[in-house]
Amino acid sequence: MAAAALAPALAPVPLPAAFAGWWEHVNGSPAWQDGIFWALAALYGLIAASSFIQVARIQHRVPEYGWTTQKVFQFLNFLVNGARCSIFAFRRQVQLVNPQIFQHVILDLPGLAFFTTYAMLALFWAEISYQARGLDTDGLRSGFYIINGVVYAMQVLVWVLLWLNPNPSMLVLSKLFIAGLSFSAALGFLLYGGRLFLMLKRFPIESKGRQQKLSEVGRVATICSCCFLARCVMMCFAAFNKDADLDVLDHPILNFIYYLLVEIVPSALVLYILRRIPSKLKLAHYHPLSSG
């Protein structure tokens, strides 16, 4: 009877409560915060270094081709991941920047650059798809520049409005803008990646190169669509739930999960899939940035 009476008192703490306690402990610990932010900085630094090495390899292999699409893509990855690395390495100092609008600029700008970087892949696929169907591609590249210009102009406008009127509704607008942009990017990858995938699948000639390109396009399109959709969903949560806010120091676990899923892992996978660089003997298959 005594043992039975003591049983409830000796029962282990339920896992959700224990996990919640651990979560709060980590979030509230400056040591954990710094450790997680430094871990993110290290991961971003590795990806930035990998991209820089690829740029150097391409330059060494085909210097006569200048700034090709592949080289620009790798270089932009280097810049984006290098910026993220620096931000997380000095995350505590960033939180002290005044006026506060500059914090938003520092934290949001790499996300816009990430969008531009990976939108280049969708542009490249669209150009291939148009060329295969004998369509003019001149408007695609100019459209890419115009869309990016509009996106950056709208983001600057949001920053200005947030600076002039720093209230919760403007913060919601800022996050929803990123969510909408991410959703558009996901649709772009599904559309142009899907088109190119189906075009390659219907290609009548079976070859090892065709199968490799088919697999490459399918995997990259899936990865990019998923990462931008995840960013969209997370930004929507962050817009209306303070517990999901990423722009604070006391949510390090959430930051780690978010950036790991929407930038670090997708970037690492895409860069691995696209790791092949052109051969000197097959320059005709390499597409310069200024083409089409």
pLDDT digit string, tens, across residues 108-153: 999 999 999 999 888 888 888 787 777 777 788 888 999 999 999 9
Q: Any alpha helices (H) in the chain, and if so which ranges?
A: 2-10, 15-28, 30-61, 69-89, 91-94, 101-132, 138-164, 168-188, 194-202, 208-240, 252-259, 265-273
Total domains in the chain come to 1
Q: What's the confidence (pLDDT) of residue 13?
A: 44
Tell me 77's DSSP state.
H
Exposure string of 41-76, with b = 16+ CB inside 10 Å and e = fewer, is bebbbebbebbbebbeebbeebeebeebbbbbbbbb
What's the pTM value of the predicted model, to 2 decimals?
0.84
pLDDT above 80 for 40:
yes
Domain assignment present for residue 272? The answer is: no
Residue ranges making up the domain that contains 203: 98-247
pLDDT above 50 for 11:
no
Could you tell me the end-to-end alpha-carbon distance of the chain, in angstroms, rounded to an integer? 85
Domain assignment present for residue 104? The answer is: yes
pLDDT above 80 for 217:
yes
- pLDDT band of 278, cuts 50, 70, 90: confident
Closest CA to 58 of 74, 80, 78: 74
Domain assignment present for residue 7? The answer is: no
pLDDT above 70 for 204:
no
- pLDDT band of 287, cuts 50, 70, 90: low
Domain assignment present for residue 269? The answer is: no
d(CA 225, CA 109): 20
Count other C-beta atoms under 10 Å from residue 165's C-beta: 9
Give the residue-averaged pLDDT of 194-202. Answer: 82
Share of the chain above pLDDT 70, in %: 86
- pLDDT band of 3, cuts 50, 70, 90: very low
Q: What's the confidence (pLDDT) of residue 106?
A: 94
User: What residues contact residue 66 under an 8 Å CB cut-off, 6+ apart?
Assistant: 288, 289, 290
Give the residue-averaged pLDDT of 206-233. Answer: 85
- pLDDT band of 241, cuts 50, 70, 90: confident
- pLDDT band of 273, cuts 50, 70, 90: very high
User: What residues contact residue 93 under an 8 Å CB cut-off, 6+ apart?
Assistant: none
What does the pLDDT look like over 46-82, one tens digit per residue? 999 999 999 999 888 888 778 888 899 999 999 999 9
Domain assignment present for residue 201? The answer is: yes
pLDDT above 50 for 283:
no
Domain assignment present for residue 87? The answer is: no
Q: What's the confidence (pLDDT) of residue 290?
A: 45
Give the residue-averaged pLDDT of 141-167. Answer: 92
Domain assignment present for residue 69? The answer is: no
Q: What's the confidence (pLDDT) of residue 1?
A: 42
Mean pLDDT of the chain: 84
Domain assignment present for residue 26? The answer is: no
